[in-house]
Structure 1
Amino acid sequence: MSLRALFFIIVVALAIQPVAAEEPDWNDYRSVLKHVKPGLKNGVKLMQVDYAALNSDGSLEKAYRNLSAFDINHLASKEERLAFYINAYNILALKMVADHWPTDSIKDAGSFFSPVWNKPAGQLGGKTVTLGEVEHEILRKMGEPRIHMAIVCASVSCPDLRAEPYTAVRLNEQLDEQTRQFLDNSGKGLRIAGKVIQVSKIFDWFEEDFEAYGGVASFIKRYRPGLPDLRIKTNIPYDWSVNGS
C-alpha cells in the first residue's frame, strides 16, 4: 500500500469518528444563579431573581452567548439533552424578562394574539427558537414529566430556579429534589384543604405527561408518601406575577 493511500485511509477514518459527548461550560450560568435568593411574594415562598443586577453585571448575556454558541450535536445521551434544554429554557426565560425589565409578568412581553411563548426567545444550535418550542417540541417529547418541576417560566407559581445548573451525571437526583421541593411548597405545589389535596394547575395542563408514572395521583404519592387518601384537585391559583425581587 502506498503512503498516499494509507494517508487517505487515516484521514477518512478520523473524519467519520463520532463526535465526543460534551456538555456546555455552565460557569456563566452559575454566576447568573448567584442573583437568585429565597423570598416571599404575594404570600408565596419562592426563589426570587434580581433582574436589575443581571442586566447591570452582564452575567446573563454571557450565559446566553455561551448557550447559543454551543454545538448541540455534541449532546450524545438523553440525560445530556435533557439537562441542556432545561438549562436553556431557564436561561431564555430569564432573558425574556430581563430584556423587558421592569415588568409585572413575563406574559407582558407578548400579547393575546402573540403570546410570549410563541415569540422568538433566542438561538439554540444555530436556529431561532421560542420558549414554547423548547418546552413542547423538545423537552416534553423526551418523555420525562419531571421537567415540569425544573423549567421555570419566570413566575411566582412556577417551580423555583435551582441554585445550580442541571448536569447529565446528576440529573435524576436533581429532578427528584426539584419535584419534592415543589410538592413541599404549600403556596404553589401541594396543600391539604379540608378533605381535598390541592395541587398546582401544572398537573392539569400536562396531565398526560404523568401517565409514565401511572398518572398524576401516583406521581404525587411517589414523592409525597404518607399523604391521606383524599381527592386531588388541580386548583391552586396560578400566579403569573414575575419572580423578580
Structure 2
Amino acid sequence: MSARRWEVAPEGGIDCRSVSAPLPSRHRARWFAAAVLVVLAVLVVGAVLYVRGALPASVPVAAGPFSSTDYARALDHVRPSGDLDFVGLGRDRAALERFVASLASVSPRLRPELFPTPEDSLAYWINAYNALVLLQLVERHPEGVSSAWFGRFYWGHAWPVGGERLTLWALEQRILGEYGDPRVHFALFRGTRGGPSLDGAPYQPEFLDAQLNDASRRFMASPRHVRLEGDTVHLARLFQTRKQDFLAALPEGRGGNVLQFVWAFLPDTCEERPGCDTRGDLDRACGPKLDTCRVTFMPEDLSRPDVADAASRR
C-alpha cells in the first residue's frame, strides 16, 4: 500500500511523492481472514459436488458392447448364505475391474438409447452400485466397511460412470432414489454381514421385478433383520433410515405402519430358513392391524460377509 507525502521542492513549490507505507496490521488480518474464507468456500463447494456426483468425467471409447458377463463371474463367489468367498473373488479381480471400467463408457444417462425401459436402467444402476462396493472391498477396504471412518466407504471415493464421477452415496441417494421403488434398498449390497446380501447373479431387466421381490423376501426372512420377541418387533436399522420410502409404497401412504410393508414380504413358512418369523407369527403378535406391537431398531452388523470368517465362528 502507498501513501502521499508532501515536500517543498528545491526549486520552490510543493512536490507530492508517493512513498511505500506498511499495511496496518488490522487490515492484513482482514485480508487474510477473507482469503481463508474464500479457500474454505471453494473446498466446501468442491466437496459437496464431489460427494453428490456432480463433477464430470472423461468418457473412454468402449472396448465392446456393454455386458454384465464379467460381473456375473465375480458373483460366482457368492454363497447361498449371502457370504462371499473373498479368496476366490481376489482371483477373479480382473473380471470385476473390467466390468467397473466398462461403466465409464456407458450409462442410461449417457446412452439412453441402450436402456429403453425403466427396468433396463434400474438393473444397470443396481449392478453398478453392487460392483463398486465389491471392488472397494477388494481394493481399498479389505478389512470391511468398519475400517472406513465416518461412513467414508460410501462417499470417500468416486468412479467415472457414463461421464460423471459418482460416489456410492450419489448413486444411492441421487440416482437410484429417483425410481421410487423401496425394494431397491434390499438389493443394494452395502459390504456388511448385517445389510442386504448379494444375489448370485446380476440383476436383469426381464426378471427385475421377481429379483427385487426375492431380495426383499431374503432380507425379511433373516433374524438379523426381523425378529419377534413377545409383542416387540426388532427391525433392522434400514427400516428406520428409509421408513418414509416404505410407508409411501403402502396403500395408506405415509399414515400407515412400516410393519405392513414387512408383513408383505415375510415368508409363510420357515422351511427354507429355519428360525425365521412368518406372516402368521406377526399377525398373532401384533393383531390384524399390526398396531399393538412395539417396534425397536437393531444395530447393523458391520463385519465383512466373508465365508471364511463365518466358518471360523462355527
* TM-score under structure 2 length normalisation: 0.63
Partner residue, 1:242: 304
The structure showing larger relative contact order (alpha-carbon pairs under 8 Å, at least 6 residues apart) is 1
Partner residue, 2:226: 190
Residue of structure 1 aligned with 2:235, choices 189, 199, 215: 199
Cα separation, 2, equivalents of 1:89 and 1:232:
34
The 8 Å contact of residues 89 and 131 in structure 1, kept in 2 or not, is answered as yes
Between 92-101 and 221-230, the greater mean CA deviation after superposition: 221-230
Secondary structure of the 2:67 match is: coil
Secondary structure of the 2:104 match is: helix
Cα separation, 2, equivalents of 1:170 and 1:140:
20
Residue of structure 1 aligned with 2:90, choices 49, 55, 75: 55
Residue of structure 1 aligned with 2:131, choices 91, 94, 97: 91
Alignment CA distance shift 1:232-1:24 (3 Å)? farther
Within the alignment, does 1:79 sit opposite 2:79 as a pair?
Answer: no
Partner residue, 2:62: none
State percent identity of aligned pairs.
29
Partner residue, 1:139: 176
Partner residue, 2:149: 111
User: Following TM superposition, where does structure 1 have runs of at least 4 consecutive aligned residues deviating by more than 3 angstroms?
Assistant: none
- How far is the alpha carbon of 1:220 from its aligned partner? 1.1
Partner residue, 1:6: none
Question: Unaligned 5+ residue runs, structure 1?
Answer: 1-22, 39-45
Partner residue, 2:9: none
Superposition RMSD in Å? 1.9
Secondary structure of the 1:28 match is: helix
The 8 Å contact of residues 107 and 124 in structure 2, kept in 1 or not, is answered as no
The 8 Å contact of residues 217 and 232 in structure 1, kept in 2 or not, is answered as no
The 8 Å contact of residues 187 and 198 in structure 2, kept in 1 or not, is answered as yes
Residue of structure 2 aligned with 1:170, choices 207, 221, 226: 207
| Offset from partner CA, 1:196-239 (integer Å, 9 cap, x none) | 12111100011111123224222112122432225252422311
Partner residue, 2:190: 153
| Aligned-partner residue type, residue 244 of structure 2 | E
Partner residue, 2:74: 32
* TM-score under structure 1 length normalisation: 0.80
Cα separation, 2, equivalents of 1:174 and 1:35:
18
| Aligned-partner residue type, residue 262 of structure 2 | I
Structure number with larger C-alpha Rg: 2
Secondary structure of the 1:185 match is: coil
The 8 Å contact of residues 51 and 101 in structure 1, kept in 2 or not, is answered as no
